[in-house]
Every structure is written in C-alpha cells, then in structure tokens.
Structure 1
Amino acid sequence: MTAALGSLHGIAYRPWRDHPASVEEWELPDIISPSLTEPPLEEGGKLPAAGAVIIEPDYRVWVAHLHEPFNAACVGFPTARKDPKLSLQATAIREAWERTGLKVRIIGWLGDFDEEITRTRYYLAARVGGAPAACGWERPTMSLVTLDALMQYPALRVSPTEAKCLAALQNVLNISPDWSTPSSVMPRRSLA
C-alpha cells in the first residue's frame, strides 16, 4: 500500500494506480460523466481536441509550466488532440492524468475554442485523486494558483485561447472582471 503524499480539501494525494488500461475502461461511467449535457463538437475543418481546467473547491486551478513556451504562454492546461477511439471527455481525463498525475472528474463544459489547426473542447474538472508527484512521462512542473494570480503575473501567462477559456470560467463562477470578488448580482456556484 502506498502512503499518501499529503492531502488537500480532504482528498489524499495518492498515485492513481488502478487507472484505465484500455479504450473501453476510459469510457466507463465511473471515469467519464455520461449525464453531462454538452453540445456536439462542430469541428469546422479543424482537428478535434479536448482539455481540462482542473479546479479545487477554493477556486485555485492547476497549471502545467511549459518547458518550451508556446504562443507566448508560460503555463497551460492539459489538452490533447482527440484520440479517434476515445470520446472528448475520456481524451481530456486521460490527458489530465498523463500530464498532471491527477485523477479528475468532469463537472462541466466550458466551451469550444479554436487554435490554428484544432478546435478544443475545454471541460471544467474537479480533482478526485492522483498525485502530481506521480505524473506520467510528460512530467511538467505543476502549480496550484489562484485565478487572480493567473491573470496578473507574466510568469503565469496562458495562451490567447486559454485566456478565452478563463473568461468562460469567470462566467461560470460568476466572478467579477477583476477576479477578486464574486459578482454582486449572483453568488458563486457550487463546485459539488
């Protein structure tokens, strides 16, 4: 039995040892969220891709530091081109695990965003297990950052596409444009 590497919000950091090993296992209902309402991805001549914005109950998000900055970005969210044998959700969950070591559960659809050759479906995801120290072969440096810090510090700069994704997240969470306070009109939504 592997000892926990600490915990956050009552969820222990433990390597996800029983992760899916086949296409069929990645598509199981206890891995994906089959009841999630989402529109079909309109590819529009672009390659389909999927990604996850992993958020904690305190509204901090997990970002991967890019070894080679891309498109002026220094950090990013786990994304990958869609595996032809996997759904978009399964692609996002598998990439999140491979890139971060975290087991995630899809809890919402943020939107579909275009890059030069891909159209990426971004999901909102909650960490339900795993450990960054047990990350897959890609092994980026991970940070857990506030949304405010993510929008203010150049060292945490995201791509223009991921900035649009963060704007969608801002809307979902009902956070004011300065990222520091909830909207006065509506309370923040629960992540449960």
Structure 2
Amino acid sequence: MPQLHPCPDDDGNPVVIRIPSTPTAPASWLDPARLATVLPGGALPDAVNGIPLAPWTAVPDTPAGWTALADRSLLEEPPFVPPAGMCAAAGTVIVEDDGRVWLVAPSNRYGGYSATFPKGRADSGAGLHCTALRETFEEAGLQVQLVAFLADCRRTLTFTRYYIARRLGGTPAAMGWETQAVHLVPIAQLDRVAVHLNDYPVIKAAREWIESHRR
C-alpha cells in the first residue's frame, strides 16, 4: 500500500510519499541535545520548552487576515532588492529557548532538499512578513512571531529574506502536504540535516545570530 500524506495537494489530489521519513522517540522532544522528528498527524508531547504543541485555532483564512497579522511585526531591516529575474520569497529560522531550530522535510525531497527552513514565494501583493508567517504555518504547522531580520540569500530561483522567529503555538503534526516531516534540530547539527548548498549561508547566519544573543 502506498503511503499517503493526510493532506491532499492544492488541486485535491492525493500526495504519495515515496521515501518516508522516520519519526523519533517521544523523549527526543524534551532533550535539547537530540534531534526530534514528527510525521503528519504524529504523536508529540503536550509542550516543548513550556509552549504547548496544539493546533492553531485562529489561523487567518484570507489574504487580508494574514496581512493584518503580519502588520504586527515591527522590525528594523534593510531594503529588499531582488536581483533581476529572481522571484521574491521569505522564510523563517525558528529558534527554541533550548537552542534547537525547526526544519521541514519537503515531501519527496522536492527541489532536492531533504530538509530546509520553511519559506515560500511572495504572492502578488503579499508582503515579506505575511509570506514568512503563512509559509511557516503551511509547511511546519507552527504559529510564529518574527523577531529579527537575519539575512537575504540567493536561492536557485528566488531571492529570499529570512527572519529569526520564535514559536507562539501550533503543532508540527499539522504540517501541510508540501512537508512530510518536521525536525527540531540542535544548532550544531544543522549542517548535517539541512545539507543543500543553498542553506549553508542561512545556517552560518543563524549560528552567528544565536551566538551573539547568548552573550
């Protein structure tokens, strides 16, 4: 029997997971030194680092709703100027109080990524803050708050602005169809999990940011 993602794709078609990920033991979520992995609908502890892992019940359901939520993000950041021919995108590096960082595993390693940071293209008229918040929920099931500008990175087809974010709620078990697993990764292990060359600049910037905020 093929393994299906519980969520159909945007056209209502079933998503077959050809190379399934493997979940980790429940105790991994509560140990800052361990990588933790959950699959869609998988079992999780009630909370991590004192923040509940529970479905986000007030998810915006219109572009205006996402925009209103994004307008609460007041950040100092440089102008965003994508190179000619590159699409604008935005994503997040979600840092936990225990020093771990959230990654998503794209379904069937889409784009050549076994794991990466949640991000997506900015729809016509959607701002970068709005895009980062929406894509993080759709790909990781998490409700986050943007707390700082991190870096602008050239990807294969996009020029992507990344923000440091902190988790407010949600649950990775509610990941959308584009994601087949969500990981919580110790910072020292990031480059062993997110191995695509496009993510190396993001990992470097994230490590520098985390180190500077430990002082």
Q: TM-score, normalised to structure 1's length?
A: 0.81
Residue 205 of structure 2 corresponds to residue 168 of structure 1: yes
Shift of 1:70: 5.7
Aligned to 1:182: none
- Of 59, 78, 86 in structure 2, the residue corresponding to residue 39 of structure 1 is 78
Q: CA deviation at 1:31?
A: 4.3
CA contact (8 A) 2:106 2:115 kept: yes
1:130 matched to 2:170: yes
Indicate whether 1:158 and 2:195 are aligned. yes
Equivalence for 1:146: 186
Q: Which residue of 2 aligns with 1:21?
A: 61
Shift of 1:149: 1.6
Q: Partner of 1:181 in structure 2?
A: none
Q: Relative to 1, partners in 2 of residues 1:32 and 1:97: Cα closer, same or farther, differing over 3 Å?
A: farther
| Structure 2: distance between partners of 1:32 and 1:105 | 11
Q: Does 1:102 align with 2:142?
A: yes
Residue pair 1:103, 1:130 contacting (<8 A) in 2 also: yes
Q: Cα 1:187–1:109, aligned 2, differ >3 Å: closer, same or farther?
A: closer
User: In structure 2, what is the Cα distance between the partners aligned to 1:81 and 1:187?
Assistant: 29
For the residue of structure 2 that corresponds to 1:40, the secondary structure is: coil
1:71 Cα shift? 6.4
For 2:184 and 2:116, how far apart are their aligned partners in 1?
Answer: 12
Query: Structure 1: which 5+ residue stretches go unaligned?
Result: 175-185
Query: In the aligned structure 1, how far is the partner of 2:160 from the partner of 2:180?
Result: 21
CA distance in 1 between partners of 2:109 and 2:175 (Å): 20
1:188 is aligned with what amino acid?
R
Match of 2:47 in 1: 7
Q: Distance in 1 between matches of 2:189 and 2:70?
A: 31
Q: Where do 5+ consecutive residues of structure 2 fail to align?
A: 1-43
- Please say if residues 53 and 170 of structure 2, whose CA atoms lie closer than 8 Å, have aligned partners that are also in contact: yes
What is the deviation of 1:5? 5.6
Stretches of 4+ aligned residues off by more than 4 angstroms = 30-33
Contact 2:105 2:183 in 1 (8 A): yes
1:160 Cα deviation from its structure 2 partner: 1.7
Give the residue type in structure 1 aligned to 2:75.
Answer: L
Q: Residues 67 and 21 (structure 1 numbering): CA distance in 2 closer, same or farther, change over 3 Å?
A: closer
C-alpha displacement of 1:34: 3.3
Mean Cα deviation higher: 69-78 or 87-96: 69-78
> Any idea what SS the aligned residue of 2:107 has?
strand
CA RMSD of the aligned region, Å?
2.1
Q: How many residues align?
A: 171
For residues 135 and 142 of structure 1, do their structure 2 counterparts lie closer, same or farther at Cα, with a shift above 3 Å needed?
Answer: same
Rounded to whole Å, the distance in 2 between the matches of 1:36 and 1:187 is 16
Residue identity opposite 2:158 in structure 1: T
The Cα of 1:158 is off from its aligned counterpart by 2.9
